Structure 1
């Protein structure tokens, strides 16, 4: 099944013939709700100490590259991760990029994944749940915009599991990924060039694995 996640009428920045830009999508460090397997969405849950350790480990991993800037979702768990990374890379304070905020989950927020499955099995209406198409329609143009700001450069973009999953599904043209494939502190390298947005490397499962083959 091929699913192209894209919204109609979305204005996409034109990269043109500018040099390729590297963007590292990073998921924030763990929160207590992550540990409890609760759905966070737009609820602003802070990182815990394990999440800070994960963020420092990711920063060390990225320290081997040459980065120009760090941007982040405005939610505190992402912003703190971005600050830890920017400090380690010797870069300026991260800029906030609202389009990278987590997918809104409406009435699901605060529930455990088991509670969510029970509601879905009962076909209970879920108010306020943002579609993946909506997430892609704001996140992808924001990533292309970053490339116009840093042509030929490299940017770390700290965001959330729901955003990263939506972007990966869009690029891989998949309907779903296995649960837990985008872990806290994971890195997913993208390249933006005249040919568009492409995935270079990812800590998540490979596309063929996502099929269950």
Structure 2
């Protein structure tokens, strides 16, 4: 991220509710349900007064569909970025996901052990780095503007608390992001700060770790 004259505002949203072709774990799939489309329209209405300049989306279909619904309402374009995808299910592809095979690794990430990795998948550092890359691109490209980024619950809850200097890494505990919930970020020359998490303001204090 380069030095910024004006802070960029980024609204990082989880995609809308989706229906899936199968209950088995996979790195792709999922299309917005009727409820997900309604949530996406509501998100667009919420952001209508924010002068959104652009929408960036994960390449996963449920995120792209969410982004396109919002962008159409706001009259802006959508750019897809692989860096915004959900964390990979790794070697658990094709399994049921019950019990949750990611819980132990995700808890390690929240505790600050970003070297922990999902078997056959990504480490926390890899998730944080690829999301950071997209957000830093946004900060450089859209100085002084507002942008919507559509991603996924796991990726957001892993990356954002490690990027925003006023969030504890364990902030997502007890604060799950529902479909189309938003984390508002701002970037300046000192990096990222969180302004709100799922509608709740975040204190603008120093670094918390």
**Number of corresponding residues:** 188
CA RMSD of aligned residues (A): 3.0
Equivalent residue for 2:206? none
Q: What secondary structure is seen at the aligned counterpart in 2 of 1:140? A: helix
TM-score, length-scaled by structure 1: 0.77
> Do residues 167 (structure 1) and 162 (structure 2) align?
no
Unaligned runs of 5+ in 1: 1-13, 209-213
Q: What secondary structure is seen at the aligned counterpart in 2 of 1:26? A: strand
Equivalent residue for 1:131? 123
> Do residues 56 (structure 1) and 30 (structure 2) align?
no
Unaligned runs of 5+ in 2: 105-116, 204-209
> Do residues 16 (structure 1) and 3 (structure 2) align?
yes
Structure with a larger share of its residues in helix: 1
- Cα separation, partners in 2 of 1:196 and 1:118, compared to 1, 3 Å: closer
- Cα separation, partners in 2 of 1:52 and 1:151, compared to 1, 3 Å: same
Q: What secondary structure is seen at the aligned counterpart in 2 of 1:99? A: helix
- Cα separation, partners in 2 of 1:206 and 1:106, compared to 1, 3 Å: farther
The structural deviation recorded for 1:179 is 6.2
Q: Say if 1:68 and 1:155, in contact at 8 Å, map to a contact too.
A: yes
CA deviation profile, 1:21-74 (whole Å, cap 9, x unmatched) = 0010011001125xx7x755x222222111111111111111121111111111
- Cα separation, partners in 2 of 1:179 and 1:114, compared to 1, 3 Å: farther
Larger relative contact order (C-alpha < 8 A, sep ≥ 6)? 1
> Do residues 188 (structure 1) and 180 (structure 2) align?
no
Q: Say if 1:108 and 1:116, in contact at 8 Å, map to a contact too.
A: no
**Residue from 192, 197, 209 that aligns with 2:192:** 197
**Residue from 45, 68, 82 that aligns with 1:98:** 82
Structure with a larger share of its residues in strand: 2
Report which stretch shifted further, 111-120 or 24-33. Answer: 111-120
- Cα separation, partners in 2 of 1:168 and 1:114, compared to 1, 3 Å: same
Distance 1:95 1:119 in 2: 31
Equivalent residue for 1:146? 138
Equivalent residue for 1:69? 54
Distance 1:143 1:81 in 2: 19
